[in-house]
Amino acid sequence: MPIVDRWLDQAPERLHLLADALVHKAMHGVAQNSAVREWRRSLAELRTATDGFNSDGIPVAIEGLLTLATYIKVTAPVADEELSILARNLGDLARVNETFEHSTRSRAAFNRWSPVAQSLLVALERLTDARLPAGQPATARTD
């Protein structure tokens, strides 16, 4: 099961921490820093799944992406177009993944799904890096 979907059952607070970091462009504390680090790992994991067809099938993230998109939508400032794009890409990736999940999971289905998923993942990686540059230190919360 992909990391971001596993969080729904095992650590839903990580989705809140990640959404908060992306919305506010800052990480506060060890837990939030860890959530962002795991999010980057999750994106890499999802991208690896798009690299080659596996006849046994591959798990693709759906619900975790949709939940993260919702958290971002409800907390994002209206004027933040970058966050709107991020949330839209999360939702689009979830829908593309769901379509693939319910397909025959054949090589042909993989070949239709993979380039679209890769494109969305590249966009999500870019947007994540724009909002939370890699190596950005966690700061103490002042509120």
DSSP 112: H
Q: What is the mean pLDDT of residues 16-27?
A: 97
pLDDT band, very low/low/confident/very high, at 124 (cuts 50, 70, 90) = very high
Supply 48's token pair. Answer: 């690896």
Q: What is the pTM of this model?
A: 0.92
pLDDT of residue 57: 81
| CA–CA separation, 51 and 9 (whole Å) | 27
Torsion of CA 92, 95, 99, 105, to 10 degrees: 70
Whether 139 has a pLDDT exceeding 80, the answer reads: no
pLDDT of residue 136: 60
Whether 83 has a pLDDT exceeding 70, the answer reads: yes
> pLDDT tens digit string along 24-67?
999 999 999 999 999 999 999 999 999 999 888 888 999 999 99
Of the candidates 138, 125, 123, 113, the residue with the CA atom closest to the CA atom of residue 42: 125
CA distances from 124 to 101, 129, 143 (A): 20, 8, 28
CA distances from 131 to 22, 42, 85 (A): 6, 17, 12
Q: What is the CA radius of gyration of the chain?
A: 15
Whether 142 has a pLDDT exceeding 60, the answer reads: no
Q: What does the domain layout of the chain look like in residue ranges?
A: 3-131
